[in-house]
Structure 1
Amino acid sequence: MKKFLSIILITLFVSTVVGQATASAFSEKILNVAHRGASGHAPEHTILSYELGEKMKGDYIEIDLQMTKDGVLIAMHDETLDRTTDGSGHVKDHTIDEIKQLDAGSWFNERNPEKASEDFVGLTVPTLEEIFIEFGKSTKYYIETKSPEVYPGMEEELLRLLNKYGLTGKHDRVLLQSFSQESLQIIHELDPSWPLVQLIRAADSDNITDEQLEEISTYAIGVGPNHTRISEEDVARVLQYDLDIHPYTVNNPEVMHELLDWGVTGLFTDYPDVLWNVLKERQTGR
């Protein structure tokens, strides 16, 4: 694993990005969110992918949550195991011990032969607790409650683990997001101090109303729309409500530049190294 990290990181120019002035109400810099880790370079939602996300200058590692049959929160995007492991079936129908037996890395080699690595073979699905133990307080987390309607109690378990590992107090360390307004409102009711981001599905990203933005501003600090469905006017309107806007998932440098020109306050990307270089270019002049 260390050999792989050394090879892939040697092409990166190592420096520190100074925060850029933005219209953000939450942060003084544009947020570079490593979507599922550096998932363009390594199997998504694995410890290795998260390590790369940090090393490639991501400000936050993004973690999607599912819950096992025995109530353990794991990092996985899909409700089913089929796409990113050698298992099958719904996460909710398997125990953590069963899921820990699965290979969560080899699929990436099969689908991306030009990026294949032996280091990916046999990677396992991490639990949220394992991620907190591995990365601790030095990392910033952008955590999504996926399919919360399928997992009653997901929000309570998430907050329990955040408290257990001392990820409270300095709340720019953790952002919590969901497509489910109900899930975010449950978190807000349990502890209104957590910064929340309301994700917006692609079909709704280009027609969100002022009334909806006003309502979102009562419990969240920002919104996450699909980048292909928004305009410069949409960005300006969101900012008028003192909300941040973090579009997903942006991998093309030119599109990154365009969205940043519009005034977005953060971006989700599978390639945090690419966004880091774009932000650096904007500081020094293209």
Structure 2
Amino acid sequence: MAKDPIIIAHRGASGERPEHTIASYALAIEQGADFIEPDLVLTKDGVLVARHENEISETTDVADKPQFADRKATKMIDGQKMTGWFTEDFTLAELKTLRAKERLPLLRKANTTYDGQFEIPTFEEIIRLTKAKEKETGRRIGIYPETKHPSYFASIGLPHEAPLLAMLEKHGYVEKDDPLFIQSFEVDNLKALRGKTKLRLIQLMSKDDGPADDPSVRYVEMATREGLQAIAAYADGIGVEKAMVIPRTILGNLDGPTQLVADAHAAGLDVHVWTFRRENYFLPLAQKSGINPAAHGDLVAEIKAFLDAGIDGFFSDNVAEAVEAAR
């Protein structure tokens, strides 16, 4: 088990509040998260805001706003056709008229009681919340932003790097030991950031895909010993899907761990794992509490298996259970 593995609140306390809202981040901090994780997209006027995707119909009430009906569009994002409403077609002032809603209402019915209460937060508002909570709690609280679809945003004249680094520098995040990680599923923007900042960078990977900015490469190739050595030239760690560390058997139980953690550590890389959620729908068979997909199972046991595999940190929607498992 890694010494003091970090707990990263995935989109805030998203198991208990609509994701990527100030309320979600604040609750995560109060429950003991070491880091909060905002996914960052850009507005038409170049402001970084927190949404899981730039398409926002699943997480806001935009579809209910007749004044924005003509903004509905179909676009190709990272090779996938998407239809809906996109942040890059709205100014910040327009986005601020929308309200967040629960993304997984069938699994998280209780969260729907908060629908319509919260704005879309800017990255700066999230930083200011973090700073205020640091003063309130007397402890260091980290931020773990993800650049979402960076090559797509760059292609439409809204690159992440300059506004992201400017905002971080404005608030004092410049050194490697500052409580800040920048993560991305793409490669080129991390390499570009490496030449501009000392802040720690994390290469995200999933078991079945590859980086959108280089379709010739698969993440499984990047997760080999040689691939990890290449990642270590521009990043400080990897953020990997759970199955890349402990796959599941054909019956859906946890299998034995792979070599990935040991190989990454040998390359000098930290290993952070995503995403731990307490609903039966997401849990291994032995940790389920029954057949109701929305019921809560034994998330603590699942997390402990991964901690025993030596991971350095993990993302969870459920901070209270994460704290119980890690502490």
Give the TM-score range, shorter chain. 0.7 to 0.9
Deviations 1:73-121 (A, max 9, x none): 0001112011100115111111111111101136676863334435x53
In structure 2, the residue matched to 1:223 is 238
Match of 2:99 in 1: 103
Q: More helix per residue: 1 or 2?
A: 1
Q: Match for 2:53: what amino acid? A: D
Picking from 148, 151, 155, the partner of 1:149 is: 151
Residue correspondence of structure 1 range 222-261 to structure 2 within 5 A: 222-231=237-246, 232=257, 233-251=259-277, 252-261=299-308
Q: Distance in 1 between matches of 2:103 and 2:322?
A: 26
What are the equivalent positions in structure 2 for 1:42-191 lying under 5 Å apart? 42-87=17-62, 88-105=84-101, 112-118=108-114, 120-136=115-131, 138=134, 139-152=141-154, 153-169=159-175, 171-191=177-197
Q: Percent identity?
A: 32
- Alignment partners' CA distance in 2, 1:206 and 1:255: 23
State the alpha-carbon separation in 2 of the partners of residues 68 and 80 from structure 1: 11
Q: Kindly indicate whether the alpha-carbon contact (under 8 Å) linking 2:185 and 2:205 is maintained by their aligned counterparts in 1.
A: yes
Match of 1:195 in 2: 200
Task: Check conservation: 1:205, 1:225, Cα contact below 8 A.
Answer: no
Residue 190 of structure 1 aligns with an amino acid whose one-letter code is K
Over 3 Å counting, the alpha-carbon distance change for 1:264 and 1:111 in structure 2 is closer
- Offset of residue 127 of structure 1: 0.5
TM-score computed with the length of structure 1 as normaliser: 0.82
3-state SS in 2 of match to 1:81: coil
Asked if 1 retains the 8 angstrom alpha-carbon contact of 2:35 and 2:144, the reply is yes
Q: Report Cα offsets for 1:13-60 as digits up to 9, x if no partner.
A: xxxxxxxx72xxxxx520100000010010100000000111111100
**CA separation in 2, counterparts of 1:127 and 1:81?**
15
CA distance, structure 1, for counterparts of residue 271 and residue 52 of structure 2: 21
- Structure 2 residue runs of 5 or longer lacking an equivalent are 63-83, 135-140, 209-217, 247-256, 278-298
- Match in the other structure for 2:314: 267
Change over 3 Å in CA distance of 1:107–1:223 after alignment to 2: closer
Give the TM-score normalised by the residue count of structure 2.
Answer: 0.72
| Residues 66, 73 of structure 1: 8 Å contact kept | yes
What are structure 1's unaligned runs of at least 5 residues? 1-20, 23-27, 281-286
Give 3-state SS (helix, strand or coil) of 1:117's partner: helix
Aligned letter for 1:168?
V
Cα deviations across residues 223-260 of structure 1 (Å, max 9, x unaligned)?
01100233422221111112110010012222211111
Give the Cα separation in 1 of the matches to 2:107 and 2:324. 26
> Following the alignment from structure 1 to structure 2, what is the Cα–Cα distance between the partners of residues 216 and 188?
11
Partners of 2:202 and 2:187 in 1: how far apart?
10
Residues 195 and 124 of structure 1: CA distance in aligned 2, closer, same or farther (over 3 Å): same
Distance 2:307 2:34 in 1: 16
RMSD (CA atoms): 2.0
- SS in structure 2 of the partner of residue 249 of structure 1: strand
- The answer to whether the 8 A contact 2:61-2:116 is kept is no
- Tell me if the contact between 1:109 and 1:117 (Cα under 8 Å) persists in the aligned partners: no
Aligned-pair CA distance for 1:210? 1.5
d(CA) in 2 for partners of 1:182, 1:210: 20
Q: What are the superposed Cα offsets for residues 107-144 of structure 1, whole Å, 9 maximum, x if unpaired?
A: 676863334435x5320000111112222273310011
Give the partner amino acid of 1:178: S
Name the counterpart of 2:325: 278
The 2-side partners of 1:206 and 1:258 are apart by 22
Q: Distance in 1 between matches of 2:207 and 2:52?
A: 17
Equivalences, count: 253
Once residues 169 and 240 of structure 1 are traced to their aligned partners in structure 2, the CA distance between those partners, rounded to angstroms, is 24
Q: Determine if contact 2:26/2:129 at 8 Å carries over to the other structure.
A: no
Amino acid at match of 1:96: L
Counterpart AA for 1:242: G
2:150 counterpart SS class = coil
1:144-168 Cα offsets, whole Å, 9 max, x none, are 1010012222111100001111223
Amino acid at match of 1:184: L
Q: Is the 8 A contact 1:105 1:124 kept in 2?
A: no
Q: Quick one: distance in 2 between partners of 1:221 and 1:113?
A: 38
- CA distance in 2 between partners of 1:91 and 1:54 (Å): 27
